[in-house]
Structure 1
Amino acid sequence: MSSPIALLPDAQLRPLLDAYEASVRSRRWHTLLILACVAVAMVLSSISAEVSIPKLLDNIHRFPSYIIRLFQLENGRPVWTDVAEWFWGLPRWLRLLGETLLMAYVGTVLGVIGAFVLSFLAAANVAPSRWLRWTVRRFCEICRTVPELVFALVFVIAFGLGPVAGVLAVAIHTVGALGKLFAEVVENIDMKPVEGIIAGGSSWPVAMRFGALPQTMSNFVSYALLRFEINVRSTAVMGFVGAGGIGQDLIEAIRKFYYSDVSAILVLIIITVSVIDTLTSHVRHRLIGLQEKH
C-alpha cells in the first residue's frame, strides 16, 4: 500500500519535504553545536586543571603494565599458579572485611533512622512548618555534599584511628542522601488518609504514623537496601584515612608495592560487593513487586 503523502500533488508535497529537510538540518546543527561546546569545555577544563596530553600519552603504557603486575607473584609467576601464596593473608583480610561490612551496616542503620525522622519534616506536603522544612533540607544538603572521606578524616582526628570514625562518616552521609529520597517518597503519597486522620482530631505524629507511613514503608526499605550497597563500597576505602576496615590493608599494600596483595584484597572486595548487590537487588525487586500488587 502506497503512502498517502506520495499521492499529494507536487505543489503540496514539495513544501512538506522542504520543511522536513530543514528540520533535519536544524537538528544536525544543534547536535554539532552541542558537541563543539562539550569539546571546548573539555579543552578549557584540561587547561585549568593543568592536564598535559603529551605527558599522558608518554606514560599511558604504565597503566596496563601496572594491571599486569597486580596478577603476578613476587617470583614473577601468575597469581593463580599458587593461590595459597596469593591469599596468604586471608584470615586477617576476612576479619577486616567483616569489620568493613559491620561499619557499613551500623552506619546505614543509624543513617536510615535519622533520614526516616527528617523525611517527614522535609516533605512539602506534610511538614509542620515551612521554616522547619527549609532548615531540614539545608541540613540534609550539607550532610550529603561533604564527601564521606572528608567526614572520616575529621572524625579520625576527633576520635582517633578505628571504625568509629568510619561509622559516623557513613551515618552522616546516609542521613543526607536518604533524607532527600525519603522526603520525595513522602511528597508522592495520597494525602486523603492523612487529611482524614487530622480531620478526626488526631495529632500530626499520629497522622504520619497511620496515614503516611503505610504508603511509604516499602520504598523506604528499598532505598535503605540500595544505600547499604553503596555504603559497603564506600567503607571499603575508609581505611585510606585510618577509619578501619579492609581499606587499611589495601592502602598499605598499594604504598609498599605489594602487587599480589593488592589484587587479592580487590578480588575479595569485588566478590563481597557483588554478592551483597545481588541479594539486596533481589529483595528490593520483591518489595517493588509487592507494592505494585497492592
Structure 2
Amino acid sequence: MTVADTQPHMQSTGDIRTAWERMVARRRFYTILGLVILIAAFVSSVRFADESNAGHFFDRLPHLFDFLSWLIPKDWNDVWRALFDIASVNDKGGEEFNFDKGRVYISGAFYIPEYFELMIVTINVALISTIVAFVFAVPLSFFAARNLTSSWPLRVFTKRLMEFLRAFPEIVIAGLFSAILSIGPVAAIIAITLHTIGALGKLFYEVAENIDMKPHEGMKAVGANWWERVRFAALPQVLPNFTSYALLRLEINVRASTIIGAVGGGGIGEELKLSISRGFGAKTMALVLLLFVTIVAVDQFSAWLRRRLVGEHAFLLQH
C-alpha cells in the first residue's frame, strides 16, 4: 500500500473532525445564546413584577426570611409536646400552647395525638383516591391503546377524556368541589381521584401499547373475544408495571392531599396552614416534622413494594 492509497482516508478523517468541531461550536453558540435570552427574559419579568407589585419586590427582598423568625419556637421541647399532645408548661390559656386540647380519645385514657389523626386522614384521602383511580384507569388504558382497540373514535374519545381529567390541578378541582360539597375530605378525594385517573390512564396505555402481541394474536386465532384477550393476554403482562405506577402515584397523592388540605380538603394541610398563618412556631415545626417523616416512610415503603412486585432485576443496570 502506497502513501497515495492512505491519503483519501486521512483526508476523510480530517473532514469528519472538522465537521464535528463545527457542530460542537454551533451547539455551544446556541446554548450561550439561549442562556442570554433566558436571563434577559428573567430580568425583564422581575423588573415588570417589581413595578407592578405594590409591595416592591426588591425593597422587600432583604426581609424574605423574616417569617422564619416568627416560627422558631422559644422552647424546642414544645415541638415534641405539640406532636404528642402533651400539656405545655408555657400554656397560658391561649391557642398557641393548648396541645392537650386536641387529643382524640379512643378508650379511657388512651388517645391518638391530634396531628397523627390528621395525618391518617391525609393518607386515607391519598389511598382511597389512588385505589379508585386505578380501578377506572385500567380499563380506560386498554380502550386507548392502539394495538388493543381498533375503533378510532373510541381511542380518541378515551384519550381526550383522560387529557381533560388531568388538565386541571388537583387544588383547582378541590376548590370547585369544596364550594359545592362544603369543606372536607370528600372534595379532596374527588379532586385527586379525577386527576389521578387522567395521569395513570396515560401511563397505563403507553405500557399497554408496548406489550408482546403474540399471546393476544394466539387467543384471537382460537376465537377469544376482546375482553378475554385483554384479561388473559394483555393484563398479566402489564399488571406489574401498572402496580408500580400506582404506587408511585400514591406517593404523589400523599403530597397532593396535604396541599389540598390548605383549601378546605381536611387533613393535616388545613392545620398546617392555620398554624403558619397564626405564627404558632411549635405547632408548625411539629407538623412539618410529622409530614416529612410520613412522606419519607411512604416513599420507602412504596419503593420496597415496587421492588417486590416488579422484581429486583428491573432496578439493576444492564451490562
Please give the TM-score of this superposition, normalised by the length of structure 1.
0.85
Q: Does structure 2 retain, via aligned residues, the 8 Å contact 1:229–1:280?
A: yes
- Distance in structure 2 (CA, Å) of the matches to 1:285 and 1:260: 38
Query: Quick one: structure 1 residues 19 and 244, their matched pair in 2 at CA, closer, same or farther if it must change by over 3 Å?
Result: closer
Query: Quick one: structure 1 residues 291 and 137, their matched pair in 2 at CA, closer, same or farther if it must change by over 3 Å?
Result: farther
Percent of aligned pairs with the same residue?
37
Aligned match of 1:33:
33
Aligned match of 2:192:
170
CA offsets per residue over residues 131-160 of structure 1, 9 Å max, x none? 111111111111111110111111112212
Aligned match of 2:296:
274
Q: Does structure 2 retain, via aligned residues, the 8 Å contact 1:148–1:170?
A: yes
Whether 2:161 is the aligned partner of 1:160: answer no
Which SS does the other structure have where 2:64 is aligned? helix
Question: What is the aligned counterpart of 1:221 among 227, 232, 243?
Answer: 243
CA offsets per residue over residues 204-254 of structure 1, 9 Å max, x none? 000000010010000000000000000000101222121111111111112
Q: How far 1:41 sits from its partner (Å)?
A: 3.5
TM alignment of 1:196-235, pairs within 5 A: 196-235=218-257
Q: Does structure 2 retain, via aligned residues, the 8 Å contact 1:69–1:259?
A: yes
Aligned residues: 280
Query: Cα RMSD (Å) of the superposition?
Result: 2.8
Q: How far 1:68 sits from its partner (Å)?
A: 4.1
Deviates more, 1:22-31 or 1:251-260: 22-31
- Distance in structure 2 (CA, Å) of the matches to 1:146 and 1:153: 11
- Distance in structure 1 (CA, Å) of the matches to 2:15 and 2:312: 54
Q: Does structure 1 retain, via aligned residues, the 8 Å contact 2:50–2:58?
A: no
Please give the TM-score of this superposition, normalised by the length of structure 2.
0.79
TM alignment of 1:1-294, pairs within 5 A: 19=19, 21-46=21-46, 50-51=49-50, 55-70=56-71, 72-73=72-73, 76-77=74-75, 79=76, 81-87=77-83, 88=85, 89=99, 91-289=113-311, 292=314
Gaps of 5+ in 2: 1-5, 86-98, 104-112
Which SS does the other structure have where 1:269 is aligned? helix
Query: Quick one: structure 1 residues 255 and 197, their matched pair in 2 at CA, closer, same or farther if it must change by over 3 Å?
Result: same
Q: How far 1:20 sits from its partner (Å)?
A: 5.3
Query: Quick one: structure 1 residues 23 and 207, their matched pair in 2 at CA, closer, same or farther if it must change by over 3 Å?
Result: closer
Q: Does structure 1 retain, via aligned residues, the 8 Å contact 2:79–2:286?
A: no
Question: Which letter does structure 2 place at the counterpart of 1:163?
Answer: P
Which SS does the other structure have where 1:190 is aligned? coil
Deviates more, 1:162-171 or 1:54-63: 54-63
Q: Does structure 1 retain, via aligned residues, the 8 Å contact 2:79–2:285?
A: no
Gaps of 5+ in 1: 1-6
